[in-house]
Structure 1
Amino acid sequence: MVAENAVLIKQGAEARVFHLPTFLTQPEGCIAKERFKKSYRHPDLDQYLTSRRVAQEARSLYKCKKAGMDTPTVYFIDMVSATIYMENIVGETVKQRLLTHQETEYVDVDTDTMAKRIGVSLAKMHSLNVIHGDLTTSNLMLRKEGDSVVVIDFGLSFVSSLIEDKAVDLYVLERAFSSTHPKTEPLFAKVLEHYLSASSQAKLIFSKLEDGIKNDNVRLRGRKRSMVG
Protein backbone atom coordinates (compact mmCIF):
# COMPACT_ATOMS: atom_id res chain seq x y z
CA MET A 1 0.00 0.00 0.00
CA VAL A 2 1.54 3.31 -1.08
CA ALA A 3 1.51 6.45 1.07
CA GLU A 4 -1.72 8.34 1.74
CA ASN A 5 -0.44 11.44 -0.06
CA ALA A 6 0.13 9.48 -3.27
CA VAL A 7 -1.68 10.77 -6.36
CA LEU A 8 -2.88 8.21 -8.90
CA ILE A 9 -1.65 9.23 -12.35
CA LYS A 10 -2.21 6.06 -14.37
CA GLN A 11 -4.24 2.86 -14.06
CA GLY A 12 -3.27 -0.03 -16.30
CA ALA A 13 -4.29 -3.65 -16.66
CA GLU A 14 -1.39 -4.81 -14.51
CA ALA A 15 -0.47 -1.92 -12.25
CA ARG A 16 -1.29 1.46 -10.77
CA VAL A 17 1.19 4.32 -11.05
CA PHE A 18 1.28 6.99 -8.35
CA HIS A 19 3.19 10.21 -7.81
CA LEU A 20 4.44 10.81 -4.28
CA PRO A 21 5.05 14.57 -3.88
CA THR A 22 7.54 13.96 -1.09
CA PHE A 23 10.04 11.13 -0.92
CA LEU A 24 13.24 11.28 1.10
CA THR A 25 15.29 14.21 -0.23
CA GLN A 26 14.05 14.05 -3.83
CA PRO A 27 12.80 17.53 -4.85
CA GLU A 28 10.38 16.09 -7.41
CA GLY A 29 9.15 13.30 -5.15
CA CYS A 30 9.03 9.88 -6.80
CA ILE A 31 6.92 7.49 -8.84
CA ALA A 32 5.48 4.39 -7.18
CA LYS A 33 4.39 1.58 -9.48
CA GLU A 34 2.18 -0.93 -7.67
CA ARG A 35 1.19 -4.24 -9.22
CA PHE A 36 -2.20 -5.25 -7.85
CA LYS A 37 -3.53 -8.71 -7.05
CA LYS A 38 -5.52 -10.67 -9.64
CA SER A 39 -8.54 -12.18 -7.91
CA TYR A 40 -9.08 -14.76 -10.67
CA ARG A 41 -5.73 -16.41 -9.92
CA HIS A 42 -4.90 -18.67 -7.01
CA PRO A 43 -3.32 -16.48 -4.30
CA ASP A 44 -0.06 -18.44 -4.24
CA LEU A 45 0.27 -18.40 -8.02
CA ASP A 46 -0.65 -14.73 -8.14
CA GLN A 47 2.01 -13.83 -5.58
CA TYR A 48 4.62 -15.87 -7.44
CA LEU A 49 3.87 -14.34 -10.84
CA THR A 50 3.60 -10.81 -9.46
CA SER A 51 6.90 -11.10 -7.61
CA ARG A 52 8.59 -12.35 -10.77
CA ARG A 53 7.30 -9.41 -12.81
CA VAL A 54 8.34 -6.86 -10.18
CA ALA A 55 11.82 -8.39 -9.93
CA GLN A 56 12.22 -8.54 -13.72
CA GLU A 57 11.19 -4.91 -14.18
CA ALA A 58 13.59 -3.76 -11.46
CA ARG A 59 16.43 -5.84 -12.95
CA SER A 60 15.83 -4.41 -16.42
CA LEU A 61 15.87 -0.85 -15.10
CA TYR A 62 19.04 -1.46 -13.12
CA LYS A 63 20.81 -3.27 -15.97
CA CYS A 64 20.05 -0.51 -18.46
CA LYS A 65 20.99 2.27 -16.05
CA LYS A 66 24.28 0.56 -15.20
CA ALA A 67 25.12 0.28 -18.91
CA GLY A 68 24.69 4.03 -19.39
CA MET A 69 21.12 4.27 -20.67
CA ASP A 70 18.88 7.01 -19.36
CA THR A 71 16.20 5.17 -17.38
CA PRO A 72 14.42 6.04 -14.10
CA THR A 73 16.61 5.41 -11.08
CA VAL A 74 15.17 2.74 -8.78
CA TYR A 75 15.08 3.93 -5.16
CA PHE A 76 13.37 1.11 -3.35
CA ILE A 77 11.52 -2.16 -4.04
CA ASP A 78 8.77 -3.35 -1.70
CA MET A 79 8.18 -6.99 -2.62
CA VAL A 80 5.40 -7.37 -0.05
CA SER A 81 3.24 -4.73 -1.73
CA ALA A 82 4.74 -5.43 -5.18
CA THR A 83 5.73 -1.78 -5.55
CA ILE A 84 8.75 -0.17 -7.18
CA TYR A 85 9.68 3.34 -6.04
CA MET A 86 11.60 5.16 -8.74
CA GLU A 87 12.71 8.52 -10.06
CA ASN A 88 10.05 10.97 -11.16
CA ILE A 89 11.15 12.12 -14.62
CA VAL A 90 10.41 15.81 -15.17
CA GLY A 91 9.59 16.42 -18.80
CA GLU A 92 7.19 15.16 -21.44
CA THR A 93 6.75 12.03 -23.51
CA VAL A 94 7.85 11.84 -27.12
CA LYS A 95 4.15 11.34 -27.88
CA GLN A 96 3.24 14.64 -26.21
CA ARG A 97 6.04 16.51 -27.99
CA LEU A 98 5.03 15.21 -31.41
CA LEU A 99 1.29 15.74 -30.89
CA THR A 100 1.93 19.34 -29.83
CA HIS A 101 3.75 20.05 -33.10
CA GLN A 102 1.72 17.80 -35.39
CA GLU A 103 -0.10 20.61 -37.20
CA THR A 104 3.18 22.26 -38.22
CA GLU A 105 4.59 18.88 -39.31
CA TYR A 106 7.19 19.00 -36.51
CA VAL A 107 9.20 21.87 -37.98
CA ASP A 108 9.92 23.17 -34.47
CA VAL A 109 11.08 19.76 -33.20
CA ASP A 110 14.75 18.77 -33.34
CA THR A 111 13.90 15.41 -34.89
CA ASP A 112 17.50 14.68 -35.83
CA THR A 113 18.67 14.77 -32.22
CA MET A 114 15.56 12.96 -31.02
CA ALA A 115 16.02 10.17 -33.56
CA LYS A 116 19.69 9.74 -32.71
CA ARG A 117 19.04 9.51 -28.98
CA ILE A 118 16.20 7.02 -29.43
CA GLY A 119 18.14 4.84 -31.88
CA VAL A 120 21.35 4.74 -29.85
CA SER A 121 19.46 4.06 -26.62
CA LEU A 122 17.48 1.15 -28.08
CA ALA A 123 20.62 -0.32 -29.62
CA LYS A 124 22.26 -0.21 -26.18
CA MET A 125 19.23 -1.87 -24.60
CA HIS A 126 19.18 -4.70 -27.14
CA SER A 127 22.94 -5.20 -26.80
CA LEU A 128 22.16 -6.10 -23.17
CA ASN A 129 19.55 -8.60 -24.44
CA VAL A 130 16.84 -6.61 -22.67
CA ILE A 131 13.58 -6.66 -24.63
CA HIS A 132 11.29 -3.80 -23.62
CA GLY A 133 8.04 -5.45 -24.70
CA ASP A 134 6.02 -2.25 -25.08
CA LEU A 135 7.99 0.32 -27.06
CA THR A 136 5.68 3.23 -27.82
CA THR A 137 6.13 6.98 -27.97
CA SER A 138 4.35 7.12 -24.58
CA ASN A 139 7.18 5.08 -23.05
CA LEU A 140 9.91 7.38 -24.34
CA MET A 141 10.30 10.59 -22.33
CA LEU A 142 12.25 13.79 -22.91
CA ARG A 143 13.82 15.34 -19.83
CA LYS A 144 12.91 18.97 -19.27
CA GLU A 145 16.57 19.87 -19.07
CA GLY A 146 18.63 18.66 -22.00
CA ASP A 147 15.93 16.65 -23.82
CA SER A 148 17.69 13.37 -23.01
CA VAL A 149 15.54 10.41 -24.09
CA VAL A 150 14.46 8.33 -21.09
CA VAL A 151 13.08 4.84 -21.71
CA ILE A 152 10.36 4.08 -19.14
CA ASP A 153 7.86 1.36 -18.17
CA PHE A 154 9.73 -1.94 -18.33
CA GLY A 155 6.70 -3.79 -16.96
CA LEU A 156 6.61 -6.23 -19.89
CA SER A 157 10.37 -6.52 -20.29
CA PHE A 158 12.26 -9.78 -20.45
CA VAL A 159 15.72 -11.06 -21.31
CA SER A 160 16.30 -12.66 -24.71
CA SER A 161 19.16 -12.96 -27.17
CA LEU A 162 16.80 -13.92 -30.01
CA ILE A 163 17.03 -11.66 -33.05
CA GLU A 164 13.28 -12.01 -33.63
CA ASP A 165 12.43 -10.63 -30.17
CA LYS A 166 14.49 -7.53 -30.89
CA ALA A 167 12.83 -7.18 -34.28
CA VAL A 168 9.40 -7.34 -32.64
CA ASP A 169 10.42 -4.54 -30.27
CA LEU A 170 11.26 -2.33 -33.25
CA TYR A 171 8.10 -3.31 -35.09
CA VAL A 172 5.93 -2.31 -32.13
CA LEU A 173 7.65 1.10 -32.05
CA GLU A 174 7.25 1.51 -35.80
CA ARG A 175 3.52 0.84 -35.45
CA ALA A 176 3.31 3.35 -32.60
CA PHE A 177 4.84 6.05 -34.79
CA SER A 178 2.77 5.29 -37.90
CA SER A 179 -0.57 4.91 -36.11
CA THR A 180 -0.27 7.91 -33.76
CA HIS A 181 1.95 10.42 -35.54
CA PRO A 182 1.22 11.17 -39.22
CA LYS A 183 4.15 11.98 -41.51
CA THR A 184 6.83 10.70 -39.12
CA GLU A 185 8.20 8.14 -41.57
CA PRO A 186 11.42 10.19 -42.04
CA LEU A 187 11.82 10.45 -38.26
CA PHE A 188 11.49 6.71 -37.72
CA ALA A 189 13.84 6.06 -40.66
CA LYS A 190 16.44 8.16 -38.83
CA VAL A 191 15.82 6.19 -35.63
CA LEU A 192 16.58 2.99 -37.54
CA GLU A 193 19.65 4.57 -39.16
CA HIS A 194 21.16 5.45 -35.78
CA TYR A 195 20.15 2.06 -34.38
CA LEU A 196 21.99 0.42 -37.29
CA SER A 197 25.15 2.43 -36.71
CA ALA A 198 25.14 1.66 -32.96
CA SER A 199 24.22 -2.04 -32.99
CA SER A 200 26.49 -4.91 -33.98
CA GLN A 201 23.41 -7.05 -34.66
CA ALA A 202 21.42 -4.43 -36.52
CA LYS A 203 21.66 -6.01 -39.99
CA LEU A 204 20.46 -9.37 -38.68
CA ILE A 205 17.64 -7.68 -36.77
CA PHE A 206 16.52 -5.66 -39.80
CA SER A 207 16.67 -8.75 -41.97
CA LYS A 208 14.47 -10.61 -39.50
CA LEU A 209 12.13 -7.63 -39.29
CA GLU A 210 11.71 -7.48 -43.08
CA ASP A 211 11.34 -11.25 -43.46
CA GLY A 212 8.95 -11.42 -40.53
CA ILE A 213 6.73 -8.68 -41.90
CA LYS A 214 6.55 -10.47 -45.25
CA ASN A 215 5.59 -13.72 -43.52
CA ASP A 216 3.43 -11.98 -40.90
CA ASN A 217 5.40 -13.58 -38.03
CA VAL A 218 6.79 -10.36 -36.59
CA ARG A 219 3.61 -8.47 -37.40
CA LEU A 220 1.42 -10.98 -35.54
CA ARG A 221 3.74 -11.08 -32.52
CA GLY A 222 3.78 -7.29 -32.47
CA ARG A 223 -0.01 -7.15 -32.46
CA LYS A 224 -0.20 -9.69 -29.65
CA ARG A 225 2.38 -7.73 -27.66
CA SER A 226 0.36 -4.54 -28.15
CA MET A 227 -2.82 -6.21 -26.92
CA VAL A 228 -1.01 -7.52 -23.83
CA GLY A 229 0.45 -4.09 -23.08
Structure 2
Amino acid sequence: MIDNAVLIKQGAEARIYIAPFLTRKAIVKERFSKSYRHPILDKKLTARRVTQEARCLHKCRRSGLDTPVVYFVDIENNTIYMEYVEGKTVRDILREQSDDESFKSKNDEMANKIGMALANMHVADVIHGDLTTSNLLSRDPTGSLVVIDFGLSYVSILPEDKAVDLYVLERAFMSTHPNSETMFASILETYRKKYKDSGPVINKLEEEAENEV
Protein backbone atom coordinates (compact mmCIF):
# COMPACT_ATOMS: atom_id res chain seq x y z
CA MET A 1 0.00 0.00 0.00
CA ILE A 2 1.34 3.43 -0.97
CA ASP A 3 1.08 5.96 1.85
CA ASN A 4 -1.31 8.89 1.35
CA ALA A 5 -1.92 7.87 -2.26
CA VAL A 6 -4.96 8.78 -4.36
CA LEU A 7 -5.82 6.42 -7.21
CA ILE A 8 -6.47 8.40 -10.40
CA LYS A 9 -6.37 5.71 -13.08
CA GLN A 10 -6.27 1.97 -13.50
CA GLY A 11 -5.40 0.22 -16.74
CA ALA A 12 -4.73 -3.33 -17.82
CA GLU A 13 -1.13 -3.24 -16.61
CA ALA A 14 -0.86 -0.71 -13.81
CA ARG A 15 -2.49 1.60 -11.30
CA ILE A 16 -1.63 5.31 -11.33
CA TYR A 17 -1.65 7.30 -8.09
CA ILE A 18 -0.90 10.82 -6.94
CA ALA A 19 1.16 10.65 -3.75
CA PRO A 20 3.76 12.69 -1.87
CA PHE A 21 7.41 11.83 -2.38
CA LEU A 22 9.69 13.58 0.09
CA THR A 23 8.65 17.23 -0.38
CA ARG A 24 7.19 16.78 -3.85
CA LYS A 25 3.88 15.81 -5.37
CA ALA A 26 4.51 12.70 -7.45
CA ILE A 27 2.90 10.31 -9.86
CA VAL A 28 3.29 6.72 -8.71
CA LYS A 29 2.89 3.94 -11.25
CA GLU A 30 2.35 0.52 -9.72
CA ARG A 31 2.39 -2.51 -11.97
CA PHE A 32 0.32 -5.36 -10.62
CA SER A 33 0.82 -9.11 -10.80
CA LYS A 34 -0.98 -11.32 -13.29
CA SER A 35 -2.61 -14.26 -11.56
CA TYR A 36 -2.51 -16.44 -14.69
CA ARG A 37 1.31 -16.43 -14.69
CA HIS A 38 3.59 -18.53 -12.51
CA PRO A 39 4.56 -16.34 -9.51
CA ILE A 40 8.31 -16.52 -10.14
CA LEU A 41 7.93 -15.78 -13.86
CA ASP A 42 5.45 -13.02 -13.12
CA LYS A 43 7.81 -11.33 -10.67
CA LYS A 44 10.67 -11.41 -13.19
CA LEU A 45 8.57 -10.12 -16.08
CA THR A 46 6.98 -7.34 -14.02
CA ALA A 47 10.36 -6.23 -12.65
CA ARG A 48 11.76 -6.20 -16.19
CA ARG A 49 8.93 -3.98 -17.42
CA VAL A 50 9.39 -1.54 -14.54
CA THR A 51 13.13 -1.34 -15.20
CA GLN A 52 12.64 -0.98 -18.95
CA GLU A 53 10.17 1.87 -18.54
CA ALA A 54 12.50 3.76 -16.19
CA ARG A 55 15.46 3.26 -18.56
CA CYS A 56 13.48 4.48 -21.57
CA LEU A 57 12.43 7.61 -19.67
CA HIS A 58 16.08 8.25 -18.79
CA LYS A 59 17.28 7.69 -22.37
CA CYS A 60 14.67 10.10 -23.70
CA ARG A 61 15.62 12.85 -21.24
CA ARG A 62 19.28 12.46 -22.22
CA SER A 63 18.23 12.85 -25.87
CA GLY A 64 16.56 16.19 -25.12
CA LEU A 65 12.95 15.01 -24.83
CA ASP A 66 10.86 16.47 -22.03
CA THR A 67 9.56 13.54 -19.95
CA PRO A 68 8.60 13.22 -16.28
CA VAL A 69 11.65 13.09 -14.02
CA VAL A 70 12.06 9.68 -12.38
CA TYR A 71 12.49 10.12 -8.63
CA PHE A 72 12.71 6.53 -7.44
CA VAL A 73 12.30 2.99 -8.79
CA ASP A 74 11.06 0.39 -6.31
CA ILE A 75 11.63 -2.95 -8.02
CA GLU A 76 10.46 -4.99 -5.02
CA ASN A 77 7.02 -3.33 -5.15
CA ASN A 78 6.93 -2.80 -8.92
CA THR A 79 6.55 0.96 -8.66
CA ILE A 80 8.04 4.06 -10.26
CA TYR A 81 7.84 7.43 -8.52
CA MET A 82 8.04 10.26 -11.01
CA GLU A 83 7.37 13.94 -11.47
CA TYR A 84 3.79 15.16 -11.44
CA VAL A 85 3.54 17.41 -14.51
CA GLU A 86 1.14 20.34 -14.36
CA GLY A 87 -0.41 20.83 -17.76
CA LYS A 88 -3.07 19.92 -20.28
CA THR A 89 -3.13 17.07 -22.78
CA VAL A 90 -2.79 17.83 -26.48
CA ARG A 91 -6.06 15.93 -26.90
CA ASP A 92 -7.89 18.44 -24.72
CA ILE A 93 -6.11 21.44 -26.26
CA LEU A 94 -7.09 20.45 -29.79
CA ARG A 95 -10.68 19.71 -28.82
CA GLU A 96 -11.05 23.18 -27.30
CA GLN A 97 -9.81 24.99 -30.37
CA SER A 98 -11.82 26.47 -33.21
CA ASP A 99 -10.89 27.07 -36.84
CA ASP A 100 -9.83 30.73 -36.80
CA GLU A 101 -6.34 31.89 -37.80
CA SER A 102 -5.01 32.30 -34.26
CA PHE A 103 -5.69 28.63 -33.57
CA LYS A 104 -4.11 27.63 -36.86
CA SER A 105 -0.92 29.37 -35.74
CA LYS A 106 -1.04 27.57 -32.40
CA ASN A 107 -1.58 24.23 -34.15
CA ASP A 108 1.45 24.86 -36.35
CA GLU A 109 3.50 25.51 -33.23
CA MET A 110 2.14 22.37 -31.56
CA ALA A 111 2.88 20.29 -34.67
CA ASN A 112 6.48 21.51 -34.59
CA LYS A 113 6.82 20.56 -30.92
CA ILE A 114 5.39 17.10 -31.52
CA GLY A 115 7.67 16.50 -34.52
CA MET A 116 10.70 17.58 -32.46
CA ALA A 117 9.67 15.28 -29.61
CA LEU A 118 9.30 12.28 -31.90
CA ALA A 119 12.67 12.99 -33.48
CA ASN A 120 14.42 13.21 -30.10
CA MET A 121 12.78 9.99 -28.96
CA HIS A 122 13.76 8.05 -32.07
CA VAL A 123 17.29 9.44 -32.05
CA ALA A 124 17.54 7.68 -28.68
CA ASP A 125 16.12 4.52 -30.35
CA VAL A 126 13.20 4.50 -27.92
CA ILE A 127 9.86 3.23 -29.19
CA HIS A 128 6.97 4.62 -27.15
CA GLY A 129 4.45 1.95 -28.07
CA ASP A 130 1.29 3.94 -27.29
CA LEU A 131 1.54 7.39 -28.86
CA THR A 132 -1.77 9.23 -28.60
CA THR A 133 -2.63 12.87 -28.03
CA SER A 134 -3.63 11.88 -24.48
CA ASN A 135 0.00 10.93 -23.81
CA LEU A 136 1.31 14.33 -24.89
CA LEU A 137 1.11 17.20 -22.38
CA SER A 138 1.71 20.92 -22.68
CA ARG A 139 3.66 21.78 -19.53
CA ASP A 140 2.50 24.75 -17.44
CA PRO A 141 3.66 27.48 -17.59
CA THR A 142 6.40 26.97 -20.22
CA GLY A 143 4.37 25.20 -22.91
CA SER A 144 7.07 22.56 -23.32
CA LEU A 145 5.74 19.33 -24.82
CA VAL A 146 5.98 16.42 -22.37
CA VAL A 147 5.66 12.79 -23.48
CA ILE A 148 4.20 10.52 -20.80
CA ASP A 149 3.19 6.88 -20.21
CA PHE A 150 6.13 4.78 -21.38
CA GLY A 151 4.55 1.57 -20.06
CA LEU A 152 4.84 -0.17 -23.45
CA SER A 153 8.16 1.38 -24.43
CA TYR A 154 11.25 -0.49 -25.57
CA VAL A 155 14.53 0.13 -27.36
CA SER A 156 14.91 -0.66 -31.07
CA ILE A 157 16.95 0.58 -34.02
CA LEU A 158 14.54 -0.88 -36.58
CA PRO A 159 12.81 1.62 -38.92
CA GLU A 160 9.63 -0.49 -38.92
CA ASP A 161 9.33 -0.20 -35.14
CA LYS A 162 9.71 3.57 -35.29
CA ALA A 163 7.21 3.70 -38.13
CA VAL A 164 4.68 1.94 -35.89
CA ASP A 165 4.97 4.84 -33.42
CA LEU A 166 4.13 7.29 -36.21
CA TYR A 167 1.34 5.07 -37.50
CA VAL A 168 -0.30 4.79 -34.06
CA LEU A 169 -0.14 8.57 -33.59
CA GLU A 170 -1.54 9.18 -37.07
CA ARG A 171 -4.49 6.86 -36.31
CA ALA A 172 -5.02 8.67 -33.01
CA PHE A 173 -5.25 11.98 -34.87
CA MET A 174 -7.64 10.56 -37.45
CA SER A 175 -9.99 9.00 -34.90
CA THR A 176 -9.95 11.75 -32.27
CA HIS A 177 -9.30 14.97 -34.20
CA PRO A 178 -11.23 15.32 -37.49
CA ASN A 179 -9.64 17.35 -40.29
CA SER A 180 -6.18 17.08 -38.71
CA GLU A 181 -4.41 15.76 -41.83
CA THR A 182 -2.57 19.06 -42.38
CA MET A 183 -1.36 19.13 -38.78
CA PHE A 184 -0.05 15.57 -38.96
CA ALA A 185 1.72 16.38 -42.23
CA SER A 186 3.44 19.26 -40.41
CA ILE A 187 4.47 16.88 -37.63
CA LEU A 188 6.11 14.58 -40.18
CA GLU A 189 7.82 17.52 -41.89
CA THR A 190 9.50 18.57 -38.63
CA TYR A 191 10.33 14.93 -37.85
CA ARG A 192 12.09 14.58 -41.22
CA LYS A 193 14.10 17.75 -40.69
CA LYS A 194 15.21 16.96 -37.13
CA TYR A 195 15.85 13.21 -37.47
CA LYS A 196 18.50 12.63 -40.10
CA ASP A 197 17.80 8.88 -40.28
CA SER A 198 14.06 9.38 -40.80
CA GLY A 199 14.04 8.31 -44.47
CA PRO A 200 13.60 4.55 -43.92
CA VAL A 201 11.05 5.23 -41.14
CA ILE A 202 8.89 7.42 -43.39
CA ASN A 203 9.17 4.84 -46.18
CA LYS A 204 7.85 2.14 -43.84
CA LEU A 205 5.01 4.43 -42.78
CA GLU A 206 4.07 5.07 -46.41
CA GLU A 207 4.20 1.35 -47.16
CA GLU A 208 1.76 0.73 -44.34
CA ALA A 209 -0.59 3.39 -45.72
CA GLU A 210 -0.42 1.83 -49.20
CA ASN A 211 -1.26 -1.61 -47.77
CA GLU A 212 -4.46 -0.19 -46.32
CA VAL A 213 -5.71 1.08 -49.65
Query: TM-score, normalised on structure 1?
Result: 0.88
1:25 alignment partner in structure 2: 23
Instruction: Work out whether 1:122 is the aligned partner of 2:118.
Output: yes
2:145 alignment partner in structure 1: 149
1: CA distance between counterparts of 2:169 and 2:198?
15
Aligned AA (2:191): Y
For residues 165-180 of structure 1, what are the structure 2 equivalents within 5 Å?
Answer: 165-180=161-176
2: CA distance between counterparts of 1:106 and 1:156?
37
Stretch deviating more after TM superposition (105-114 or 180-189): 105-114
Q: CA RMSD in A?
A: 1.4
Aligned with 2:157: secondary structure?
coil
Q: Which of 45, 50, 59 is 1:49 aligned to?
A: 45
5+ residue gaps in structure 1?
220-229
2: CA distance between counterparts of 1:134 and 1:179?
15
Aligned AA (1:151): V
Is residue 131–residue 169 contact of structure 1 (8 Å, CA) maintained in 2? yes
Q: Which of 96, 114, 132 is 1:136 aligned to?
A: 132
Tell me the CA shift for residue 66 of structure 1. Answer: 1.7
Tell me the CA shift for residue 2 of structure 1. Answer: 1.6
Aligned with 1:145: secondary structure?
coil
Aligned AA (1:168): V
Is residue 105–residue 183 contact of structure 1 (8 Å, CA) maintained in 2? no
1:105 alignment partner in structure 2: 99
Tell me the CA shift for residue 107 of structure 1. Answer: 5.1
1:13 alignment partner in structure 2: 12
Q: Which of 166, 184, 188 is 2:180 aligned to?
A: 184
Aligned with 1:210: secondary structure?
helix
Is residue 30–residue 79 contact of structure 2 (8 Å, CA) maintained in 1? yes
2: CA distance between counterparts of 1:212 and 1:177?
16
Is residue 30–residue 87 contact of structure 1 (8 Å, CA) maintained in 2? yes
Aligned residues: 211
Q: 1:161 to 1:41 in 2, by over 3 A?
A: same
Tell me the CA shift for residue 69 of structure 1. Answer: 1.0
Instruction: Work out whether 1:162 is the aligned partner of 2:151.
Output: no
